[in-house]
Structures are given as C-alpha cells and as structure tokens.
Structure 1
Amino acid sequence: MVALTIWNEYRHEREHDAVGEVYPDGIHATIAGALESDPERDLEIRTATLDEPDHGLPPDVLEKTDVLCWWGHEAHDEVADEVVARVQERVLEGMGLIVLHSAHFSKPFKRLMGTSCDLQYREDGGRERLWVVDPGHPIADGVAESFDLPRTEMYGEPFDVPEPDRLVFVSWFEGGEVFRSGCCYRRGKGRIFYFRPGHETYPIYEDENVGRVLRNAVDWASPTEGSPRTFGKRD
C-alpha cells in the first residue's frame, strides 16, 4: 500500500469559470481519479488544498505520506515557510515528490532545487509532442515513443534547474521550442519527478498517456529502505 497525498491550490477552479468547466471538482480530484483507475496499484489516496489548516499538510499527514503530488500556480507565495520546511525534510527522509506543470515555481521545488526554476512560456493552445528519451526508465513503462497533447501551454528552454539525474521526456511545441519535460532527481533519500504537462484550462489530466506517466511516477517515487541517515559526532 502506497499512501499518496495530492496537493492542489484549488483556487483557479473556484475563481475562474473556464477552469471550473474543465475541472469541476478540482484538478486534485481529476488526478486522483486517473490514479485510482488502475486496479493493479494499491494506493491510499487523500487530497489536500491550500486553504485548509496547515494547507492540509500537518505533520501527522506528511509523516504518513509516501508520495506527495503537488500542483500550484497563482498562490505559491501563500504557502507557509513552515510547511515548506516540513515537506523538504520529509523528502530528505525518503518521501517521494511529484511536481506538476507550473509547480516548477512552488516553494518546495525551488528550495529542493536551489535555483530560480524559471523558464519561458506562451499561452497559445498549441500542440505539444512528448518524446521518451530514456525508454529504459520505469516512468516510461508502457508509454509509446511519443504522444501528443492537442492543446496546451508552451514551456521553453532555458529551464533554470539543476541537470537532472535522469531525463525521461523532452517536449516539442508547434513554435519550434523544446523543453525538458520529465526530470528525475534524488535529494537525501527522496526521489523527485518534475512533469511539465498540466495547464488548468485544458483537460490534460484526463489524457490516458499522462495518467500512465503519473501512475508510473508514483511507483518510482515511492520510498525505498536505503540506509539510515545519521549525523553529528561519533564516539
């Protein structure tokens, strides 16, 4: 059993009709549905949102979370630093973190990367093609060599993140831009996967290929036993 917590600001869906029409129950609910649709995976899923106490991530919840999936966009600065530090420590202890789309600017991801995580973007509703560039990686299991998203937001290089440990996907856009769309990292004992697709006004999380990638990412990011982390003076 993998304990998965899906975190979402849950602001756009309530404040913008165009987003609410695409994700009437919230982006977190759609992601949860995509992950629950696979009977072969034994997941215990809960959701958390920005406006809950402790942003839905009090210490006892994070302590029980094996993988945290994070979606954010317009309210990154409203996430309390205390919660960010709590997430960072849990990742270092072994909790997996999946960072989606505009959460490249989230406080937890920026703190763990140590860079601005900035990029270029264009909201034009153009087509994106994602190419698998590391077909042997577990996150690419069962994914075709490429798949298209017919309408999306463009993200372009340079992407100010550290060089990924493994790069699983690269995106191409109709404007000719390319982007590192599936980046894997280790921080402490925890695994981190950044996955680019997911603009709030397009039903990207209903796409079958995106759902498969997310399910694979949860498997990959789940904690492993490893060796204990010990610090301080030794006798």
Structure 2
Amino acid sequence: MRVLVWNEGVHEANQHPANIGEYYPEGMHGAIAAGLRKFLPDDAEVSTATLADPEHGLSAEVLENTDVVLWWGHAAHDQVDDAVVERVKEHVLGGMGLLVLHSAHFSKIFRSLLGTTCSLAWRNEGEQELVWTVKPSHPIAEGIPHPIVIPKQEMYGELFDIPDPDDLIFISSFAGGEVFRSGVTFTRGRGRIFYFSPGDQEYPVYQQTEIQQVLANGVRWAAPEPGERVLPQVSNPPRQWLL
C-alpha cells in the first residue's frame, strides 16, 4: 500500500499559530504520517508532500505510484495549480483513494469532485468535540470508541453543503449545541473518498490515537484492490465495432 500525506505546510512555514511547532514539530503531515505508520501494515509506504514542492509533490509519476492521498488544506487553496488539481481528479476517478481532512472541505479537489460549495458553519473557541459513530458496521468505524472525545477543537456545524453521502459514519456534537456530519464517504468514478473533519492547526488532534486509527481505517477502505485501478489516458482508445 502506497500512501501520500499532502499538506499545504503554510501554517508550519509561518509558525502561525505560535504553538504549531509544539504540537506538530514535524508538521501536521509528519504527525499524520507517523500515526498511519502505527496502524497500517509494516510494508505500507507512507510519504509526505507539501505545496512548496515541485508540482506540489503531485506529479504524474508520483500519483501513478500512489494508492491513497490524504489532503490537508486551509490557507492556500487558491495557490494549488489547477492543472495539478485536474491531474489528481483524474487519478481519483480512475480508482485512487482520497481522504479529505478538516479545512480541505474548501479545497479545489474536493469541491470539483463533489460539485457543491462544500461550505459550512464554524466557530473557533477551542471547545470539546464528541465524535459519535452512527454506522458501526462500516470498516472505517472498526475499533473506534463511541464517542471519540476531543478536548479542544474548532467547531464545524451544519449546514454542510455537500451531496448526500454514500455513507454517514460519524456525527460530531459541540458545547454550543451544534452538530456536524464529520465523517462521510463518496464514490466518484472508481475512486473512494472519505471526508473527516477533526484536525485543526491550533490543536494537537492528529496526536490522538483514536484519530490516527480512524485515518488508518480510512486509508485501508479507500485503497483500490489489485487490478481495480485505471490510469488516466491522454486520449480515448480506438473502438473495435462489431458489424
């Protein structure tokens, strides 16, 4: 299994918020990758890439050799090259898995694949989030406590402008009374997509074991089976018509 954790890296580069280096000394992508390595098989290959890398670390060669991409974005959605977004989209439609994390609900790739604004309500007061499992039979929910308790987190709330998901796995509740569809899946073409909202640059959410396990479960679920994936083609292949 070949997994790529993609992160803007903008907050880390700017040291904003000031505590991000304390919570994520190797960057959020480093923490997410380390958590995956704890729960995925030993032979899984987990690498990272950021916005500043050539082609954002998402070249055709890289994507052809990647089974699942995890995407974290927040402050630089508009800086992601449209050609790179289209390249990632083609690979998802061909069967590559995609996990969309937290503020990446506004990423170009997620909005393009879903076809809606993906807007939501939010408030950041560092309050407790409870992540409730509402589909325990789903593979992503396997072994996950009910609920996951996140001591401090940004509030995301409804209405979440997304199409009806294939699966609603997690719903979050907050101290202010809001609820949010925090774990949902979609299928686009041959590709499986999992959106999971917990995980903000201001709080050490990606250091929580339960969150790491959810992401690892999501990777296993989204990864294509051998022979299931079709790589993008430059042009349509010729057809052999039966006469």
Shorter-chain TM range is over 0.9
- In 2, distance between residues paired with 1:42 and 1:95? 19
- In 2, distance between residues paired with 1:71 and 1:223? 21
- In 2, distance between residues paired with 1:76 and 1:65? 22
The alignment covers a number of residue pairs equal to 234
**What does 1:149-160 align with in structure 2 at a 5 Å threshold?**
149-160=150-161
Is 1:219 matched up with 2:220? yes
Aligned-residue Cα RMSD (Å) equals: 1.6
Is 1:137 matched up with 2:138? yes
- In 1, distance between residues paired with 2:167 and 2:88? 22
User: Where does residue 121 of structure 2 map in the other structure?
Assistant: 120
Partner of 2:201: helix, strand, or coil?
coil
Is 1:162 matched up with 2:151? no
Q: For 1:191, give the aligned amino acid.
A: R
Partner of 2:19: helix, strand, or coil?
helix
Change (3 A) 1:39 1:186: closer
Is 1:7 matched up with 2:11? no
- In 2, distance between residues paired with 1:139 and 1:42? 20
Give the Å deviation of 1:73.
0.3
Conserved 8 A contact 1:23-1:30 = yes
Give the Å deviation of 1:37.
1.4
Give the Å deviation of 1:144.
1.8
Give the Å deviation of 1:196.
0.5
- In 2, distance between residues paired with 1:147 and 1:231? 48
Give the Å deviation of 1:77.
0.2
Deviations 1:129-152 (A, max 9, x none): 000000000000001221110100
Change (3 A) 1:65 1:201: same
User: Where does residue 25 of structure 1 map in the other structure?
Assistant: 26
Task: Return 7-16 or 30-39, whichever deviates more.
Answer: 30-39
Q: TM-score, normalised by structure 2?
A: 0.92
Deviations 1:77-105 (A, max 9, x none): 00000000000000000000000000000
Q: TM-score, normalised by structure 1?
A: 0.95
Partner of 2:39: helix, strand, or coil?
coil
Q: For 2:97, give the aligned amino acid.
A: G
User: Identity of counterpart residues, as a percentage?
Assistant: 51
- In 2, distance between residues paired with 1:48 and 1:226? 25
User: Where does residue 65 of structure 2 map in the other structure?
Assistant: 64
Conserved 8 A contact 1:14-1:20 = no
Structure 2 residue runs without a partner (length 5+): none
Conserved 8 A contact 1:12-1:20 = no
Task: Return 99-108 or 10-19, whichever deviates more.
Answer: 10-19
Partner of 1:37: helix, strand, or coil?
helix
Give the Å deviation of 1:22.
1.6
Conserved 8 A contact 2:129-2:175 = yes
- In 1, distance between residues paired with 2:55 and 2:37? 25
User: Where does residue 189 of structure 2 map in the other structure?
Assistant: 188
Is 1:99 matched up with 2:100? yes
Q: For 1:137, give the aligned amino acid.
A: H
Partner of 2:83: helix, strand, or coil?
helix
Deviations 1:25-44 (A, max 9, x none): 11000001101113645310
Q: For 2:80, give the aligned amino acid.
A: V
User: Where does residue 176 of structure 1 map in the other structure?
Assistant: 177
Partner of 1:94: helix, strand, or coil?
coil
- In 2, distance between residues paired with 1:88 and 1:162? 17
Change (3 A) 1:127 1:77: same
Conserved 8 A contact 1:105-1:118 = yes
Q: For 1:77, give the aligned amino acid.
A: D
Q: For 1:70, give the aligned amino acid.
A: W
